[in-house]
Structure 1
């Protein structure tokens, strides 16, 4: 397969596009199995990235990679998540230790620049050929005949590789999905985010130290994530109505929306912005297909969810782990790997669906009522904690409390349309007037 640059392409078993958590995980696992792996990253590590709050189910993958102690050393211990609602006048904390899965009961908050660099270096140490400042220009898929990938390095030169298998872990660049025209914005979740890093953010009173805190806003929600060195990541995710109010800079928008929440405003009173304010739109999307003959997508290259439940890095690394296993088998026996690749896609889609059920409803009154007044009847609260911990591949015994939670939500949604809402542990009649719609 000739290279557009004129020189013969360099052969490899697997070429991984993207040196974030998904790409570095897949590259490390495949290189450790003796595969010739090339890992291309468009930027240079360390580089800023959002998504700093990890989940307990990440820990299993850290152990498998052999980086658990290194991650612990750069992280802030995270025992759970706290939700704060000015409307309800209350806060509630969910501790991972109360979940149904007792194997992993904490996680970490990390600066993604350090975390991603750690994983990238680890992939190189396991034997992957790594290239930074190398942007993929084109991918010509050729099935079992191999794929030709061309990329431009920092020196402006173009290089090409002939890979037997391609893993697209390019994140929001979605290299393969863009090339195939198969990227679809999620119609259920039209949101955007604005965020930055601060010093001097006051801790949440009566919240466990290290928890991520979620402030529920009128048109969205706000995250506050404690990071090493006294830094706090603060961001607002909102609906189009929130962003239509912007009249000045994005920094002004961020501070304006935080000021609209009494609980958030109190914590930001002495805060000092120490980073540029960044924004991103069209937050949630999904590609039409996830895998094909000799290729697959992992992590955000396939789908991205609103980050309210911090699922991004966990879903990315878990899909990379599953994908690496399927790719390794495909390299030896494509026919035997075909059903495994289909199973891989199905498992990842189910995991995303499990988290998206909550994501789609976080701005609805009924779900907010249930979060702020959690009931453990039928172990619903414990099941919810397990889902918040990233236990999306749970066995049936751990799924039943989640099913009970969803059933209760549907019943309360029906009652909400009839004029009732959940307050003070019981149902209360709402004031006269049109009741808000609450779709299931």
Structure 2
């Protein structure tokens, strides 16, 4: 990707003299704070720019077990535990199948981490931001990046921003990490942001009080209600709050008439299992919506820069992978950036490893994401078999154990092979019901990838 598609790498005439730093991180969310904290801990001069002020509302409240390892590395494991709701697993509920299935992280292939937490992202992100500052990061809130000029070699990169007082600030950074989330600062500047053609979904969500717990589900589990044209999440949060959202295909959102609040309540009422739990619940936040959920940038790293977390790619959040993928990619990216600052040649294989592992992790999760509306995958979720430990392998994917190449292990290979076989039989009119194959008619569903 040519670098002349972004502003030049030297401050424009009349600008204040550039402030210098080793690494400039754009975005004070999970990815940016993780990278900044790790690099500052290694003695690097790190500048972290956040466009808002913490605490600020954000979605993505359900964490995965493999986040715990990074919390330990950052020294915040106990602080996260103190603000979170214990999460032993995930429960899937289907009105079509008439049952619910509980997946417990303790049953996964990786026995090192057997639980996680549900958190209010405002509190969680503020904790990460404070931790980055405590480890030596120079942090700036209410500071919005206006332009990024990518240079070459020792010239470094020029980042221009507007701070909380309205002043223009310029930094000359040897390395830039774009962790700007859905703002995708570098990808937008390069014209390299691509909507994911496999997953064109949108979401509408809010916080409620008084949502009934899921009967028969372990306390603390995230619950996923499978809908006709999408799915619904219900996440128990501290202080009796439940995060509730509906994610759907364009077919679902074409039904909207009136406000998004009305639409959210309407779609929840269409599901008997969700409606029963929402009876008497009180909305205690604004209803928020976001569209074009899934995307990916064309390139991920270059000479003295990289993208981490949602700044590179975002998946449908059905399997709660966003924060885990963001922090894991930031951890790998920080290692590569630290090496690059000492020796760009020696860092080259680390940058390639960073990109390869992140792309592979996204691929492992997206295999499930792309098929969530497939009747075959839904049958397998709601009637899970543990032959060849397929269920245990699926739990490991749900736990976020993707950097361990879980998708190459026999249980996951067996699960995918079974899916492909059942997809073939499905086209011939056979369907999985009560653990057996039956020939029966079925209402049409969206075609999913095989």
Shorter-chain TM-score: which interval? over 0.9
- Give the match's secondary structure for 1:42: coil
- Displacement of 1:393 in angstroms is 1.6
- Which residue, out of 5, 17, 32, partners 1:8? 17
2:396 paired residue number = 386
Residues 1:267 and 2:277 are matched in the alignment = yes
**Which piece of structure 1 moves more, 30-39 or 153-162?**
153-162
Structure 1 gaps of 5+ residues are none
Residues 1:52 and 2:61 are matched in the alignment = yes
| 1:438–1:52 CA distance, 2 compared to 1 (3 A) | closer
Deviations 1:260-302 (A, max 9, x none): 0000000000100000000000000000000000000000000
Give the 5 Å matches for 1:325-344: 325-344=335-354
- Displacement of 1:431 in angstroms is 2.7
Deviations 1:80-138 (A, max 9, x none): 00000000000000000000000000000000000000000000000000000000000
1:349 paired residue number = 359
- Which residue, out of 22, 27, 46, partners 1:37? 46
| 1:84–1:384 CA distance, 2 compared to 1 (3 A) | same
Residues 1:407 and 2:420 are matched in the alignment = no
- Give the match's secondary structure for 2:31: helix
Q: Is the 8 A contact 1:417 1:437 kept in 2?
A: no
Give the 5 Å matches for 1:134-153: 134-144=143-153, 145-153=155-163
1:129 paired residue number = 138
Structure 2 CA distance, aligned partners of 1:273 and 1:74?
22
Structure 2 CA distance, aligned partners of 1:39 and 1:373?
46
- Displacement of 1:416 in angstroms is 0.2
| 1:406–1:432 CA distance, 2 compared to 1 (3 A) | closer
Residues 1:200 and 2:210 are matched in the alignment = yes
Deviations 1:143-198 (A, max 9, x none): 21200000001211100000000000000000000000000000000000000000
| 1:99–1:122 CA distance, 2 compared to 1 (3 A) | same
Give the 5 Å matches for 1:76-87: 76-87=85-96
Deviations 1:59-97 (A, max 9, x none): 000000000000000000000000000000000000000
Structure 1 CA distance, aligned partners of 2:209 and 2:438?
41
Structure 2 gaps of 5+ residues are 1-8
- Displacement of 1:8 in angstroms is 1.1
1:309 paired residue number = 319
Structure 1 CA distance, aligned partners of 2:235 and 2:379?
23
1:431 paired residue number = 441
Residues 1:318 and 2:306 are matched in the alignment = no
1:117 paired residue number = 126
User: What root-mean-square deviation, in Å, do the aligned CA atoms of Structure 1 and Structure 2 show?
Assistant: 1.3
1:222 paired residue number = 232
- Which residue, out of 146, 161, 167, partners 2:177? 167
1:421 paired residue number = 431
Structure 1 CA distance, aligned partners of 2:363 and 2:405?
16
**Which piece of structure 1 moves more, 96-105 or 425-434?**
425-434
Residues 1:358 and 2:376 are matched in the alignment = no
Q: Which TM-score applies when normalising by structure 2?
A: 0.96
Structure 1 CA distance, aligned partners of 2:173 and 2:359?
26
Structure 2 CA distance, aligned partners of 1:412 and 1:374?
13
Structure 2 CA distance, aligned partners of 1:307 and 1:393?
18
1:248 paired residue number = 258
- Displacement of 1:394 in angstroms is 2.0
Deviations 1:10-52 (A, max 9, x none): 0000000000000000000000000000000000000000000
Deviations 1:310-343 (A, max 9, x none): 0000000000000000000000000111121111
Q: Is the 8 A contact 2:365 2:397 kept in 1?
A: yes
- Which residue, out of 95, 107, 115, partners 1:98? 107
